[in-house]
Structure 1
């Protein structure tokens, strides 16, 4: 559940999208926006705007995909908390994560992130950060299953293609950017074809 001053709403009622804005010099800034799908139930009475949250991330568009992935895993109470530095002090407070860690499935000491930051130099941390960013940027985000399309009837029919390179969202349209058909959309279109085709 997402708890707010406007009420409590199931997480699956929120849609994520990438918002682009520009600064005074024309530089593009991107953030992940998560907005409640039914604003008539969650509008802020002070400004009449729908309930939404903004998650800025530095770097490429893939970082925003990673942020959405982390939020989805964080909100899934059947899975352990994402193994990130910010959540390490609270892992023992979540029953699912506590059981996961006690079973030895985490594969790291309880204070892994704390110890890493305490012992590593600034240079080492910068190198680790750069390596992690490369892994995130290279991840095949577009090939992951669309959970929203699986849970909301008709949602997946609204689009059938996605950028081959998710970081292409961060540029103005370019002839070199390619869109590829989503596998599940392609499979669905094949099933809907009449037998004589």
Structure 2
């Protein structure tokens, strides 16, 4: 029978999440992690392999949780309702007082150097989300979007707005300020009825 672990895995991931969210990936050291979790470096390596291994577990859990917001948005009846639900919900996530401001993934990916494998992996995860919005918007052509509207560009518009909110939240913008920004952005949203009228 294997040696029992000195810590509880879920608790360790939560503590690591807090550190990565606050300090980013590069700003969080192995010493920070072992101290917060309360384990020795050998136990850490046995459990997670290395810092990147733990970070990937943290991000996978984070994206699984955040995908619930995207899924709820994607079920809305019109493309504009999809964008409204997602962006307003994301403003709540970014300003939740239970964690550092901003987006965990964005706080960790922006400082990474170009060509860094983690930066590429995080970009791929974001791209997967964008593709979900693109597919949803493509389904709505003629039913909420003007004919010929580029669903791919529209999905990028949603994601660029979301990432801008994340940077603003990290810089100290409040939930009210972020939602005001969303409210200003949405009137420019393409609307099939408005364009046909």
- Which interval holds the TM-score relative to the shorter structure? under 0.3
Judging by fraction of residues, say which structure has more strand.
1
Judging by fraction of residues, say which structure has more helix.
2
Q: Which has the higher contact order (CA 8 A, sep 6+)?
A: 2
TM-score w.r.t. length of structure 1: 0.25
